Amino acid sequence: MNFEINKDLAPLTTFGIPARVSLYKEYDSVDMLTKISRTPEFSDNEVLHIGGGSNLLFVNDFKGLVLHSAIKGVKFYRKDEETVYAIAGAGENWDGFVARCVENGFGGIENLSGIPGEVGASAVQNIGAYGVEAKDAIHHVECFDTLTRKTVVFTNGECGFAYRDSRFKHEWKGRYYVIRVSFRLRPSEEARSLEYGPLARLRETLGHSPSIGDVRHEVLRIRDSKLPAPAVTGNAGSFFKNPIVSRYYFEEEILSRHPDVPFYPAGEKRVKLAAGWLIEHAGLKGAESGGAYIYPRQCLVIANRGDATAADVTSLADRVIDTVNREFGVRLEPEVNYIDSTVKVTVLGSGTSKGVPEIACGCRVCRSADTRDKRLRASVMVRTQGMDILIDASPDLRAQALANDIGKIDAILVTHSHYDHVGGFDDLRPFCANGPLPIYVRKDVDTDLRKRLDYCFRDHLYPGVPAFDMRVIDNSPFFINGLKIIPIEVMHGKLPIFGYRIGDFAYITDAKTIAEEELEKLRGLDTLIINALRHKEHFAHLNIREAIALVENIKPKRAYFTHFNHEAGLHDELAASLPDDIFPCYDGMTIEIK
Ligand code: EPU
């Protein structure tokens, strides 16, 4: 089987930003996809499945395999007077498919005219516009299961559709590839979804009830007036999602100061805001960074002047998120998928359970004026693939979040349930605003946390308590939104606990010994962070000499020590005493693994 090597990704995305992929393959049948899934190229690489590339930003070159479906074909089945099923291959151009439905007089998706991309992505992303979402018409989705190599069919209800969301973007990511999507349409020319402002006026403008063709025509006209055509100006449509906030916050803090703010009810106690309006009213219309700029006619879009780099786009997006947050207290989330394999680690705390300085200690380390000798309780934040993953929630979490400007957390990995690693759980409240936080834990940690945080797991909850989605893991790899996490079991004295490997980075804390088969999972690392308590022996923690010996055995390219107590000495002296490729962590330190 031939794979294209070192392929240019720019023409495969609507943003048109330069990036390369090591291996690329397009398939046009399930048979061919099955064959691909049996190759070493598939099993030995990170695999990314793309559609029309209209919602992707490659932040750097992709070291892995990119797959693209060219499964084509559209078929219509008339069920009865009321229903027609339209079944389309995942690789069909979305707007071409909508046009065929409208030409045949089948209504239901005409409001979704003109959206760039392919049919497969309509289900993954639950595309939406002008009052209609793909989920309103999707009947079922046929997929290829990469685990069993068989096809499976999911009903609409099984796909977990929500605003710009589905299970394909989370727990199903990487496992199921969409092959075909079936839509339930009406064999009728009469347009039904006319609630969106400009469409509501269509009857008046036309002087008769609008047909599905009229709606398609009007939608294409509106899109043309507001949104840049990707063939002319590179862009990925809405760069941000429209944020959903509590009605209380909205009325108190936003509506009171901006009576003209557009908003839409989103359930009983929440409202959806227009991100484009917030960006414009934060003064960012036309703002630019290098070759990237805010599209002035629809501020929700970041456009490419022609020479934009991914860094231009991400720095502009970061500026938008910060400015809107400062102005309105609302944190925008990118809708565009960042494909970013760089792992950026921020050390939030590098101290052991008592921290450094220790309370009431007068030793020279505890009295040191060097900020690197001030060690909060151990934890790290890992940023990769656009996600922020916290490892352990230390009792110092509040101070750590403020000092490091942490705005969101997508998931938490817990190593064990000792207080210095979980004492910050209550301070996670601000990060639960959009729903329960996914927490990955061993079974024993789950049991401990439910006891300790019983007020978060009762039937009748006090309003405002943090919300956790406990996900019990065992000692086998698992995925967070497609990102592979490998647990490493280490012994903390007699207690088995977890360290974690993410790509070529691993974080291990509170280890004393590591079994041979677990050490195997740490081979070929770029960067290892591991605990090294002090010079003297300790029954449950590696000391510095033992940690050096372990690093020499594992052989990462570089290693960092953490979880120090004051007996480890002054940071400067410690740094000078360690072998060349081993460094002491300090709070606030960042490490990038490319
Ligand atoms: N607005 C501004 N300034 C702007 C942009 C918008 O004041 O720069 C105001 C508008 O005047 C209006 C409100 O914000 O009062 C909403 O604007 P619009 O109707 O254009 O829709 P949107 O909420 O900004 C969403 C979708 C679009 C979709 C339109 C129409 C998201 C993230 N975006 O945008 O989808 O076309 O509704 O239904 O939900 C896409 O996904 O790529 C996309 C373009």
Residue nearest to atom 29 of ligand 1 (CA): 129
Distance CA 191, CA 561 (A): 65
Decide: residue 561, CB within 10 A, 0-12 exposed, 13-18 middle, 19+ buried.
buried
Does the annotation count 520 as an active-site position?
A: no
Does the annotation count 182 as an active-site position?
A: no
Whether pLDDT at 461 is above 90: no
Q: Which atom of ligand 1 is nearest to the CA of 241?
A: 32
Query: Is residue 531 in contact with ligand 1, taking CB distance under 6 Å?
Result: no
Distance CA 115, CA 73 (A): 19
| Helix, coil or strand: residue 547 | helix
Decide: residue 267, CB within 10 A, 0-12 exposed, 13-18 middle, 19+ buried.
exposed
Whether pLDDT at 216 is above 80: yes
Which pLDDT score, from 0 to 100, does residue 79 have?
A: 87
Residue to mutate (ligand 1; options 278, 300, 337; most atoms within 8 A of CB): 300
Query: Is residue 295 in contact with ligand 1, taking CB distance under 6 Å?
Result: no
Average pLDDT, the chain: 95
| CATH number of this structure's domain 4-69 | 3.30.43.10
Q: pLDDT band for 96, please (50, 70, 90 cuts).
A: very high
Residue nearest to atom 43 of ligand 1 (CA): 238
Preceding peptide of 357 cis, ω within 30°: yes
Q: What are phi and psi of 214, to 5 degrees?
A: -60, -40
Distance CA 479, CA 89 (A): 27
CB 440 within 8 A of CB 473: yes
Whether pLDDT at 269 is above 90: no
* Cβ neighbours around 474 below 10 Å, total: 10
Query: Is residue 300 in contact with ligand 1, taking CB distance under 6 Å?
Result: yes
Listed by start position, the domains of the chain span: 4-69, 74-221, 227-339, 343-593
Establish how many alpha carbons lie within 13 A of residue 261's alpha carbon, considering only the half-sphere containing its beta carbon. 23
CB 434 within 8 A of CB 330: no
Residue to mutate (ligand 1; options 277, 295, 297, 302; most atoms within 8 A of CB): 277
pLDDT tens-digit series, residues 22-56: 999 999 999 999 999 999 999 888 899 999 999 99
pTM of the model: 0.85
* Cβ neighbours around 408 below 10 Å, total: 13
Query: Is residue 133 in contact with ligand 1, taking CB distance under 6 Å?
Result: no
Establish how many alpha carbons lie within 13 A of residue 267's alpha carbon, considering only the half-sphere containing its beta carbon. 9
Which pLDDT score, from 0 to 100, does residue 55 have?
A: 92
Distance CA 14, CA 23 (A): 20
> Longest Cα pair distance anywhere in the chain, in angstroms?
88
What is the rounded end-to-end Cα distance, in angstroms, of the chain?
A: 29
Q: What value does the mean pLDDT take over residues 198-208? A: 90
| Helix, coil or strand: residue 327 | helix
CB 570 within 8 A of CB 581: no
Residue to mutate (ligand 1; options 238, 279, 324; most atoms within 8 A of CB): 238
Which residue is catalytic, options 20, 164, 452, 558?
Answer: 164
| CATH number of this structure's domain 227-339 | 3.90.78.10
Distance CA 423, CA 581 (A): 32
CB 319 within 8 A of CB 334: no
CB 377 within 8 A of CB 396: yes
Whether pLDDT at 130 is above 80: yes
Distance CA 457, CA 445 (A): 14
Whether pLDDT at 487 is above 90: yes
Whether pLDDT at 98 is above 80: yes
Which residue is catalytic, options 69, 238, 379, 417?
Answer: 238
Angle (nearest 5°) at CA 365 between 362 and 369: 95
Query: Is residue 262 in contact with ligand 1, taking CB distance under 6 Å?
Result: yes
Q: Using the mean position of ligand 1's atoms as its centre, give its distance from the Cα of residue 118 in Å.
A: 21
Q: Which CATH number fits domain 74-221: 3.30.470.10, 3.30.465.10, 3.40.50.2000, 3.30.420.40?
A: 3.30.465.10
- In angstroms, the Cα distances linking 504 to 344, 386, 514, 530, 556 are 11, 17, 18, 14, 9
Query: Is residue 129 in contact with ligand 1, taking CB distance under 6 Å?
Result: yes
Q: Using the mean position of ligand 1's atoms as its centre, give its distance from the Cα of residue 561 in Å.
A: 48
Which residue is catalytic, options 142, 218, 335, 518?
Answer: 335
| Helix, coil or strand: residue 587 | coil
Q: Using the mean position of ligand 1's atoms as its centre, give its distance from the Cα of residue 173 in Å.
A: 27
**Superfamily for domain range 343-593:** Ribonuclease Z/Hydroxyacylglutathione hydrolase-like (3.60.15.10)
pLDDT tens-digit series, residues 310-358: 999 999 999 999 999 999 999 999 999 999 889 999 999 999 999 999 9
- Give the contacts of 565 (CB within 8 A, at least 6 positions apart): 351, 352, 354, 356, 358, 533, 534
Q: Which atom of ligand 1 is nearest to the CA of 335?
A: 32
pLDDT tens-digit series, residues 357-410: 999 999 999 999 999 999 999 999 999 988 999 999 999 999 999 999 998 999
Does the annotation count 164 as an active-site position?
A: yes
Two tokens at 34?
């099955």
Which pLDDT score, from 0 to 100, does residue 472 have?
A: 97
- In angstroms, the Cα distances linking 233 to 14, 228, 243, 304, 435 are 9, 6, 26, 6, 36
Distance of CA 364 to the CA centre of its chain: 44
Distance CA 26, CA 504 (A): 28
Alpha-carbon dihedral of residues 33, 35, 38, 43, nearest 10 degrees?
-40
DSSP bridge partners of 489: 498
Query: Is residue 352 in contact with ligand 1, taking CB distance under 6 Å?
Result: no
Q: What value does the mean pLDDT take over residues 246-254? A: 92
- In angstroms, the Cα distances linking 145 to 53, 167, 177, 217 are 22, 14, 7, 38
